[in-house]
A and B are shown apart, each in its own frame.
Chain A
Amino acid sequence: MNRQFVVALILVAAVFAGATALAQQHRPYNLIMKDVGETWASLKKNLDSNAGAAAAADAAKLQSLFAETEAFWAPLNTFDAVNFAKRVQEGAGVIGAAAKSNDMKAALTSYAATQKNCGNCHLAHREDTGKGGFLIRP
């Protein structure tokens, strides 16, 4: 009886540890940023063509992508990058809400304001290798 209990306890602990490790893993940063680039371009295209529903879907995807971005930076003692990612999530929320209500002017205004966070973060944390790639600066 005792032996069964110990085995069960070990199994539960192993499952818990595995789930925690899985939750802490994130996709490689270059893949996240690649998706961001594509979604950002799609969002602009949909806003320009007054496709409110598609733009709102893009904005929702951006919120999710920047939650990943925030999770990447959070353990790295680099809070400015975390804050940039948070602001983009907030901005994407505003863009999405405006797009849903077909207020494209407001959505585009928020789009431009939100995009500044991308530039500021790249300025601080992205270094061009000059060979078609980028390095991530702490």
Chain B
Amino acid sequence: MPRLVFSILLGLLAVIEVQAQAAADLPEQKLAEEWIQRLNALDDWYLSVDGKEEGVEPLVNSMMDLYAPEVLAEVPPYDKDQIGPVMLRGKDNVRKWVERIARSQVRLNYIVKRQTEGPTGDYEGWRLVYSAKLPWGGNAIAFQIIGVWSLREDRRRYMAPGAVFIQYGPDGKIRRLRLLLGEIDQIVPL
């Protein structure tokens, strides 16, 4: 009898694992992970012993490879005088925004929020990515994030809950990006 119970439990665990794996392997999931990984990699560069910034360009290029030339991006304000979101038209303007992140922020740690069923399951479980087929062709994905970053100049650290909406063209390049970050709070050690 204990053997039977043990076998059933083992079987159940295997099924759960397979389902979790299947969710993680979805193409939409991979698109979201790819965007987050390239964003987080933007601070992964160094200073030479002569004080030169080394390795920024390849990281910016890697992020920009995802975008179509005519991309339209709505990003959070990065100027203290700017109140609403900033609309960036075209790859060149998006590149400036990406470069600005790479050169002014460090310890980037954007994560896709996890969730399980139930009222309190917000910190573990699956990284949910919502997806849709676009009527004009291409796909769209959306996912919740938590953004964490530090300012390079003074190491002040910030955290914000947010969401990302990305529309891909039939060629797989990003045509529209909307990054929302709300309630940006400074993290202060206790």
Contacts and interface: CB of A to CB of B under 8 A. Distances in A.
B155 interface: yes
Interface string B40-67: 0001011111110100000000000000
B47 A79 contact: no
Nearest to A80: B155
A30 B50 CA distance: 9
A130 interface: no
Secondary structure at the B interface, as helix, strand, loop or mixed, is loop
B51 A72 contact: yes
B186 interface: no
A78 B106 CA distance: 11
Interface string B87-129: 0000000000000000110100000000000000000000000
- Max chain B C-beta neighbours (<10 A), residue from A72, A76, A136, A138: A138
A138 B45 CA distance: 8
A135 interface: yes
Interface string A70-82: 0010011111100
Contacts of B49: 28-31, 136
A124 B157 CA distance: 12
Given A124-B155, A138-B152, A76 B45 contact: no
B54 to A, nearest CB: 9
B154 interface: yes
A26 B51 contact: yes
B106 A77 contact: no
B171 interface: no
A76 B51 contact: yes
Given A137-B46, A138-B46, A79 B154 contact: yes
Contacts of A30: 49
A72 B51 CA distance: 7
A135 B49 CA distance: 9
Interface of A: 26, 28-31, 72, 75-80, 124, 127, 135-138
27 contacts: A26-B51, A28-B50, A29-B47, A29-B49, A29-B51, A31-B49, A76-B47, A76-B53, A77-B103, A77-B152, A77-B153, A79-B154, A80-B153, A80-B154, A80-B155, A127-B46, A135-B46, A136-B46, A136-B47, A136-B49, A137-B46, A137-B47, A138-B45, A138-B46, A138-B47, A138-B53, A138-B152
3 A-B pairs closest in CB distance: A28-B49, A136-B47, A29-B49
